[in-house]
Amino acid sequence: MKALVRKRARITRVRAAQHLLAASAAASAEAQVDQLETNAAKLASLRDSLTLPVGPVSGAALQNRGELALRLDNARHGLSGAIASAKATAEQKVAERLEARQRQESAAKLDARAVQALTEWTEARMAASFRPKLAKTNEGDN
């Protein structure tokens, strides 16, 4: 009985560690999505800041700004695939975290039941060992 309780406790600890690892992986994947989205927003902001000054502008300056704008647009559009992939990975990691949490809760319930069963078993054994002995009656006194 005690071995079962120890086994269930070990399983509960393992499942708790698995949940922590899954939660960490999910948080990391979500942080990756946030970072990629922030980078895309910075590229868009940088692209939008390439306005021309008022007044005469040389053709070389126009060409340089146009080329830079094109490169920034290409980089931003290139991030869209990485962002979509990172979001899919993050969703998968969140699902894995939820699954690990359910397994952890299930193991904790089994552990609690095993502890309760051990407690009841121990109490029953203790009660059995302290049964009152029947008093012997003297038959000659009647």
DSSP 130: T
> What is the model's pTM?
0.68
pLDDT in tens, 67-80: 888 999 999 999 99
Tell me the range of 51-65, 68-82, 86-100, 125-139 where mean pLDDT is highest: 86-100
* Residue 135 phi, psi dihedral angles, 5° rounding: -75, 140
Indicate the burial class of 52 (C-beta count within 10 angstroms; 0-12, 13-18, 19 or more).
exposed
pLDDT digits (tens, 9 = 90+) for 33-79: 999 999 999 999 998 888 777 778 788 888 888 888 899 999 999 99
